Amino acid sequence: MKKRNHQIFGKIVLYYSPSGRDQPLFNGPKLHFLIFLNPNQCNASHLDLPADFGNYLRQGRFKYIFLYGPRKTVKCKLLLRNHPKKSSKIGSGWKEFCTAHGFHQTIDLVFEVDHMKSNQNVKVLTYCNF
């Protein structure tokens, strides 16, 4: 039986690595956060996160997260600030993750996490919108 390298997610197709790194990180329902990266974000030392993704990570009170990409897993520092303005960023490790995966142009990413509880393991998938 041939292994699928994609999953339908609404009108989005998620593409998994054929290397076998697409094994589930957790069982049960998953949450997906979409982030559309421009070339500047791919080359930056940090990534600003949308409020909903930041709130999910904030629940776990993590200092680090692990980004599981198709080619490499990278430990990244979380920068969570509450005052004077609430902000959430992925810090050190972000640039290494982008470099390891060859992200230099505009790309759309899906961050897949455990829906049941906040988890510091985050699967990063690229997708093609059709």
User: Which residue in this structure is represented by tokens 């979409």?
Assistant: 34
Query: Quick one: DSSP state of residue 27?
Result: S
Q: Per-residue pLDDT tens for 84-126?
A: 888 999 999 999 999 999 988 888 999 999 888 888 899 998 8
**pLDDT of res. 24:** 64
pTM: 0.79
H helices present in 6-127, as ranges:
39-43, 51-59, 94-100
Helix (H, G, I), strand (E, B) or coil at 33: strand
Mean pLDDT of 5-29: 54
The domains located in the chain, with CATH, are 41-126 (2.40.330.10)
**pLDDT of res. 29:** 86
